[in-house]
Structure 1
Amino acid sequence: MRARDIMTNPVICVRPGTSVREAAQVLTRHRFAALPVLDDDSRLIGIVAESDLIRNRIPADLRGNIWEADDDVEREAPPGTVGEVMTETVVAMTPGADVADIAEHMLEHHVRSMPIVDGSRVIGIVSRQDVLRTMVRTNDAVAADVRRHLRAYASSWGSWEVSAAEGVVTVHAELPPDDGDDTTKRVVIALARAVPGVSRVHVEPRNGE
């Protein structure tokens, strides 16, 4: 399964001069976790996440001690633009990136969204929610997509039966008798694993081998 299979596209981006308020409105309206930040040449220069917009912006409720309210006058105004709060060091991946690698990076570096780029152009974004959605697809939907992949790329190999249960796909296939190096079996596994929601693939021969 590759980034292109699950990414959100087109992706909404902002500029460094976008106001923090406007960026917050976009995040809440579309239920995004982060927004890529582009320069005037549409190149990726950063990412702004929910935490960036919230940091140092929500004042304490002083109703319990009104004498502390005077301190509020001395505080500096919070940053007003995305360019002032965004994270400039941002990792991006390509449409062909393995979703497993994206998920591992997200967990290791505590990020919730991964921009997907083609050269210097942002073409999509993968969020943790996108990854999670692949885990809750129905068994019938997963099996149907595997069948479509096999029909599209392996229609000349004979017939097969596909079943799915909790991300585990079993393919009963007519493997050619001369497939001593398991080439066909490996191709079937690769095609099935490209389907969102597939975690493991078992190939069972139907020709008695």
Structure 2
Amino acid sequence: MNLPSLGDIKRLRKKVGMTQSELADRAGVSQPLIARIESLDIDPRFSTFKKIYETLQEAEKERINAGDVMHSPVITVKCYQELKDAIEVMRDSDFSQIPVIDKHGVPIGSVCESTIINELDSTTPERIRDKKVEDVMGSCFPTVTPVTDLEVVLGMLEYTPAILVTEKGKLVGVITKHDIMKVAEEK
């Protein structure tokens, strides 16, 4: 078993989002002992250190990341497609928003129902048929990596209808509030 150094305990604890008290409770030790270990004031027994480290490993396994809740494959439209095609894709898939990608599959924008409705208000229905997605698309949904912590995703979803999950610049998944509700339902 490869154990970290004493100096790594604080970093690992923060990575899993635990307080010293939570770690102490779960490991069956006192909070002052955790504080002393983290400040390198004490050299604990091997068995105690191992118990603390194993508790941190278990907490790491319990964490939920973006990759755990995203759905894939992502239904998208390309920026050069006609807007009527995007409307059809959204209607057929029952989505109120959809990411827009470029010819390389990189997310560059979004189309939402409200964007289309605003466009209908400002143009005649005949002219909307001539529009391309890139003519009306809004800004791109925010992106995260598959290992982004769920807490970060939840905070972001307060301000946007969807979050894209990318890996090496390529779109691999999407997370909406609906996906979060499914996770909450399963717990």
| TM category, shorter | 0.5 to 0.7
Task: List aligned pairs for 1:189-200, cutoff 5 A.
Answer: 197=187
Q: Superposition pairs for residues 10-89 of structure 1, below 5 Å?
A: 10-57=73-120, 77-78=127-128, 80-89=131-140
Q: Which amino acid aligns with 2:127?
A: A
CA RMSD of superposed structures (Å): 2.5
Separation in 2 of the partners of 1:47 and 1:106? 15
TM value normalised by structure 1: 0.52
TM-score, structure 2 normalization: 0.58
Alignment gaps of 5+ in structure 2: 1-63
Q: Distance in 1 between matches of 2:167 and 2:74?
A: 13
Aligned residue pairs total 123
Greater alpha carbon shift after TM alignment, 120-129 vs 22-31: 22-31
Aligned equivalent of 1:92, options 143, 153, 166: 143
Contact 2:142 2:162 in 1 (8 A): no
Offset, 1:89 = 4.5
Matches within 5 A, 1:139-150: none
Structure 1 stretches of at least 4 aligned residues deviating more than 3 Å after TM superposition:
75-79
Letter in 1 for 2:86: A
Query: 1:141 corresponds to which residue?
Result: none
Query: Does structure 1 residue 103 correspond to structure 2 residue 154?
Result: yes
Residue 92 of structure 1: how far off its partner (Å): 0.6
Alpha-carbon offset, residue 122 of structure 1: 0.2
1:130 equivalent to 2:160? Answer no
Where in structure 2 are the equivalents of 1:105-184 lying within 5 Å? 105-107=156-158, 109=159, 111-137=160-186
3-state SS in 1 of match to 2:85: helix
Q: Is the 8 A contact 1:33 1:113 kept in 2?
A: no
Does structure 2 retain, via aligned residues, the 8 Å contact 1:13–1:35?
yes
Q: What is the one-letter code of the residue matched to 1:133?
A: K
SS at match of 1:57: helix
User: Alpha-carbon deviations, 1:43-99, whole Å to 9, x = none?
Assistant: 22112222222213159xxxxxxxxxxxx98x9934722111112344211111122
Whichever structure has more strand as a proportion of its residues is: 1
Answer 1 or 2: which has greater helix percent. 2
Amino acid at match of 1:94: T
Q: Secondary structure at the match of 2:148?
A: coil
